[in-house]
Amino acid sequence: SRNLEIKKAKIRIMKDIEMLRKTRPTAVNLFWALDRMKGIVEAHKENDAKKFYSILLKEAKKVHNEDIELCRKIGENGAYLVPKNATIMTHCNAGALATGGWGTALGVIYAAKKMGKKVHVYAGETRPLLQGARLTTWELQKNGIPVTLVVDSARATLLKKGRIDFIVVGADRIASNGDVANKIGTYPLALLARKHKVDFYVAAPTTTFDLSIKTGTEIPIEERGPEEVRAFSRIKTAPASVCVFNPAFDVTPHELINGIITEKGIITKPYKESIAKYIRVRKK
């Protein structure tokens, strides 16, 4: 019967939602999108399967279109911060391959170029999965942005030589005090930026904020398998028995961040008060 078909579909979708939720415990945006879809499933009471799937698809497209618009606004808000002739450093991938739109951190770079600013990007390779090398450099080249790939351990040399004017990264979760969880390697980059007096900005939609946690110490950090580090491109580079520490993310303390670029504007210190204000605006 139709009622049974809907019931089975709902059970399958709810299982899929829970499976996806477990894939990235650190990234709060994933939970936000999944909860949107979960709400649609729970609210649907009719027995028309075709209508049920149509409503789910409509909501998914709505989430996608909203993300495109969020990214556009983040890029435009952040572009004003970029110097006219800027050498920019970024980390991991916060572009079109990671979002529904043109990206968060990369969106700032694209918008700056659109404003007529001359930009050159240094992309950190982002060990161990090389998202910066594999994804960010490809995206930037496709969009006509001059880009230089740099190994993560060489970034300090560039900053020490005064070769970097501006740093912008994405975020996976932001605590209510402004601490930011992002791809592993972000925290040392923020420390280097502070040491060498280079502005360090985070670009993220307000959906990335998690006001249920007070500080970054409460953010769960995903740890990945040892083979990602013991091997490089499937070639063994370390003994099979060696222990490996492989966190996927780290947390950058809010005091190292110059500002958080959102679709609502740029959040600055004191972060606890500023974030609470911006999130209230979002909920309205």
The pLDDT confidence band at residue 270, using thresholds 50, 70 and 90, is very high
Name the token pair of 145: 């942005």
8 A C-beta contact, residue 32 and residue 211: no
For range 116-144, the mean pLDDT: 98
Q: How many CB atoms lie within 10 A of CB 226?
A: 15
- pLDDT tens for each residue of 36-74: 999 999 998 887 888 889 999 999 999 999 999 999 999
- pLDDT tens for each residue of 78-104: 999 999 999 999 999 999 999 989 999
Name the token pair of 187: 């925290």
pLDDT at position 5: 82
What residues have CB less than 8 Å from 42, skipping those under 6 apart?
none
Asked if residue 270 has a cis previous peptide bond (ω within 30° of 0), the answer is yes
Distance, CA of 131 to CA of 145 (rounded, Å): 17
pLDDT at position 36: 92
Distance, CA of 218 to CA of 213 (rounded, Å): 6
If phi > 0 it is left, if psi is from -120 to 50 it is alpha, else beta; for residue 162 that is left
Distance, CA of 88 to CA of 264 (rounded, Å): 23
Give the residue with greater pLDDT, 284 vs 199.
199
Checking if the pLDDT of 283 tops 60, the result is no
Q: What is the helix (H) or strand (E) element at residue 7, kind and residue range?
A: helix 2-23
CATH 3.40.50.10470 occupies which residues in the chain? 76-283
CA angle 135, 194, 83 (to 5 degrees): 65
For range 176-198, the mean pLDDT: 99
pLDDT at position 196: 99
Q: Three-class SS string for 164-198?
A: CCEEEECCCEEECCCCEEEECCHHHHHHHHHHCCC
Classify residue 40 by burial, with Cβ atoms within 10 Å: 0-12, 13-18, 19+.
middle
The pLDDT confidence band at residue 123, using thresholds 50, 70 and 90, is very high
Residue type, position 168, single letter: V
What CATH architecture is 76-283?
A: 3-Layer(aba) Sandwich (3.40)
Q: How many CB atoms lie within 10 A of CB 157?
A: 12
Checking if the pLDDT of 201 tops 50, the result is yes
DSSP label at residue 244:
-
CA angle 202, 136, 83 (to 5 degrees): 50
172 is catalytic: yes
Checking if the pLDDT of 118 tops 60, the result is yes
Given the residues 67, 172, 179, 250, select the one marked as catalytic.
172
What is the C-alpha radius of gyration for the chain, rounded to an integer number of angstroms? Answer: 20
67-76, 165-174, 253-262, 274-283, range with the lowest pLDDT: 274-283
pTM of the model: 0.92
The pLDDT confidence band at residue 284, using thresholds 50, 70 and 90, is very low
Q: How many helices (H) and strands (E) does the chain have?
A: 10, 13
8 A C-beta contact, residue 55 and residue 40: yes
For range 259-268, the mean pLDDT: 97
For range 243-257, the mean pLDDT: 98
What residues have CB less than 8 Å from 161, skipping those under 6 apart?
none
pLDDT at position 102: 95
Residue 221: name the closest of 283, 190, 179, 258 by CA: 179
For range 164-188, the mean pLDDT: 98
Checking if the pLDDT of 244 tops 90, the result is yes
Share of the chain above pLDDT 90, in %: 84
